[in-house]
Structure 1
Amino acid sequence: MIFGDTITILRPAIGRDRYGSDVLDYGAGTRTVVTGVCVQPRSSTEATSASRTTSDARSMVTTGWRIYTPAGMDLDVTPVDRIEWAGRTCEVVGEIARWPHPIRPGAVHHCEVDIEKVAG
């Protein structure tokens, strides 16, 4: 089944630090479980950088996925949210693509959301 994945949207609570700047608190935020979506691989990159003071190399791997919703399903997700899926916590990348419905003006046909996880 193509739309058999379940994700959890982590929406942070927004607080203020002592300088008056916004601080995102994912631990105090809300969690919304969404079923019936499709998560597919998008991209993967690997980079290695050497430290200036040692000869140790550090690898960084960035892996991306795209979430698709079925026809008629809008997804309440923003660029500051995080997505939990398959034991991973991922960052939302960029804006959410809400495709217009071809028959119903103003309606959403489906959504596409890019997410990624950086390790290393």
Structure 2
Amino acid sequence: MSALYEQSVVVVRPAVSKDRYGNEKKNWGNAAERIPVDQVNVQPAGGSSEDTDDKQMVVTGWLLISAPGTLPDLRETDRVEFEGLVLEVTGKVGRWPVPTAVRHIEAQLKEVA
């Protein structure tokens, strides 16, 4: 395997319940499912932006790419823990096909600090 895919992350999938009005409510606490994923590459992507209107906030973009032939179960509703950071999946997870299978996945992530 290439040294490019030697990183690991934890996919955090929230438990979902309904409030008294029937709206779905995500629980990111102890009830959330934690799924370890190996053979990925996570790197900064898309730069950073600052919002100083109400409070100091920096949003940094990241890109997660899985190793060829690996298909981690990552959804657009998940979060990813990586090296002490909590990153949110932004948008759909890209699944890159070859004629006979899906070769790898790519996901845009963002860190809000």
Output the TM-score relative to the length of structure 1.
Answer: 0.86
Q: 1:23 aligns with which of 22, 25, 35?
A: 25
1:18-45 per-residue CA deviation (whole Å, 9 max, x = no partner) reads: 1110001122121000111000111211
- Equivalence map 1:19-58=2 (5 Å): 19-27=21-29, 28-42=31-45, 43-49=47-53, 58=55
Question: RMSD of the alignment, in Å?
Answer: 1.1
Of the two, which has the highest radius of gyration?
1
- Runs (5+) with no aligned partner, structure 1: 51-57
Q: Secondary structure at the match of 1:49?
A: coil
Any runs of at least 4 consecutive aligned residues in structure 1 with deviations exceeding 6 A, and if so which?
none
Counterpart for residue 4 of structure 1:
6
Gapped regions of structure 2 (runs ≥ 5): none
Asked if 1:111 corresponds to 2:108, the answer is no
The one-letter amino acid of 2:34's match is R
TM-score (norm 2): 0.91
Q: Secondary structure at 2:13's aligned position in 1?
A: strand
> Percent of aligned pairs with the same residue?
38
